[in-house]
Structures are given as C-alpha cells and as structure tokens.
C-alpha cells in the first residue's frame, strides 16, 4: 500500500524548497557576518535572527513531508553568494532573495492547485502569508536606510539605524490587520 500522500513531483518540489530555505538561512548568516565585521552589530543581529527564521521554515517543510508519509531528504546547500559591497547593496539583496523565495513558494502553490492536492495547498498558504511579511520587512530595511541618507548617510545616522535594527521586531503587521483607526 502506498502511504505517501504526496505525488513524487510534489515531494521533490518540497525537498527542493527545504534546501532553498536552508540556503536562505546560510545567505543571511553570511550577510550577518559581513555586517558584524563592518562594525554593524545591530544589523548583524537582525540578520542572524532572520537566518534562524529561514531555518525554521526549512524545518516546517521537513515536518510536512514526513507527516504526509513522504521521505524528507537533506541535500547539499550551495555556498552563499559574494558579500554585499555596501549597506544599500546588502538590503537590496535581502529584498531580492525574499522575492526569489516568494516565486518558488508560488510555484509549489501552482503545482498543488494543478494536482488538486488541497492539503499541500492549505499548508502553503502559511508561506504565502509569511512572504508578504518578509518582503515588507525587507522593504522597511531599504526605506530605513534611505531615510538615514543611503550610501552617503552620516556615521551618526548609521549608528542610530544600527541600534534600531538590533531591537527591531522580527514580525510586521499584515495588510489584513489594518483598520481605519490603525492603518499603519
């Protein structure tokens, strides 16, 4: 009897996504080290925490594959890309990685829709929502740096930004939660 509730194609797509989340974790860990070396301890802390979130995402995919009777497989993770060349580049790249991950998430949603695999479709909705948050978080990084003065920001405003990111929350509110009283 086949007890695997995932199609072979879906199982492979979910394993690929496990690896992608692990890769994202390594990328943010590597960017965190880069920021640490540059003296931006707060930004590094933010990136380390984000790296941990990505690892949690990997575990969620692993857990889901196993809970559906599938076989989770841990694969080799590609090396992180080159270090960013400045903070603008770093934050732009964080945003690009998030958008790239959203695209991968949508591909699995599309596949679940095609297969009428509603369990996977339902599971993936958590990630659809999570990506709205993560893209927003990355956009806020870009905005905060722009306000601080971008590449020509003063040492003082970079110091303030660095401090702010050290204690910045990992979660942001979703548009679904906005009300007329509290639109932000």
Give the phi and the psi of residue 2 in degrees, each rounded to 5: -85, 115
Q: What is the DSSP letter of 169?
A: -
Alpha carbon distance 92, 136 (integer Å): 12
Q: Which of 24, 43, 47, 65 binds ligand FEO (CB under 6 A)?
A: 24
The answer to whether 12 is a known ligand-binding residue is: no
Q: Residues 105-144: x/- map of binding to ligand FEO (CB under 6 A)?
A: -----------------------------x----------
Identify whether the C-beta of residue 102 lies closer than 8 Å to the C-beta of residue 135.
yes
Angle value at C-alpha 121, between 119 and 125, nearest 5 degrees = 115
Alpha carbon distance 36, 6 (integer Å): 42
Task: Report the residue number, 131 or 153, with the smaller CB distance to ligand FEO.
Answer: 131
Total of chain residues touching ligand FEO, rule CB under 6 A: 7
Please measure the distance between the N-terminal and C-terminal CA atoms of the chain and give it in whole angstroms.
Answer: 52
Q: Residues 65-104: x/- map of binding to ligand FEO (CB under 6 A)?
A: ---------------------------------x--x---
The answer to whether 125 is a known ligand-binding residue is: no
Say whether residue 31 binds ligand FEO (CB under 6 A): no
Q: Which of 23, 51, 57, 153 binds ligand FEO (CB under 6 A)?
A: 57
Task: Report the residue number, 134 or 162, with the smaller CB distance to ligand FEO.
Answer: 134
Identify whether the C-beta of residue 131 lies closer than 8 Å to the C-beta of residue 101.
yes
Q: Which of 6, 10, 54, 153 binds ligand FEO (CB under 6 A)?
A: 54
Nearest C-alpha neighbor of 80 from the set 125, 107, 106, 47: 47
Position closest to ligand FEO via CB: 57
User: What letters, b where the CB count within 10 A reaches 16 and e where it falls short, cover 88-108?
Assistant: eebbbbbbebbeebbebbeeb
The answer to whether 71 is a known ligand-binding residue is: no
Residues near ligand FEO (CB under 6 A): 21, 24, 54, 57, 98, 101, 134
Binding-site residues for Fe cation sit at 21, 54, 57, 98, 131
């Amino acid at each position: 009897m086949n007890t695997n509730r995932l199609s072979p194609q879906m199982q492979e797509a979910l394993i690929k996504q496990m690896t992608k989340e692990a890769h994202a974790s390594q990328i943010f860990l590597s960017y965190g080290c880069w920021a640490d070396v540059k003296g931006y301890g707060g930004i590094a802390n933010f990136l380390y925490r984000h790296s941990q979130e990505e690892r949690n995402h990997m575990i969620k995919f692993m857990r889901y594959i196993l809970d559906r009777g599938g076989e989770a497989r841990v694969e080799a993770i590609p090396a992180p890309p080159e270090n960013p060349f400045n903070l603008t580049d770093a934050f732009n790249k964080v945003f690009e990685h998030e958008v790239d991950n959203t695209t991968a998430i949508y591909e699995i949603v599309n596949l679940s829709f095609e297969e009428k695999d509603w369990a996977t479709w339902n599971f993936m909705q958590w990630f659809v929502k999570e990506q709205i948050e993560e893209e927003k978080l990355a956009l806020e990084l870009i905005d905060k740096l722009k306000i601080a003065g971008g590449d020509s920001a003063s040492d003082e405003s970079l110091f303030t930004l660095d401090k702010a990111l050290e204690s910045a929350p990992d979660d942001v509110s979703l548009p679904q939660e906005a009300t007329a009283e509290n639109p932000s």
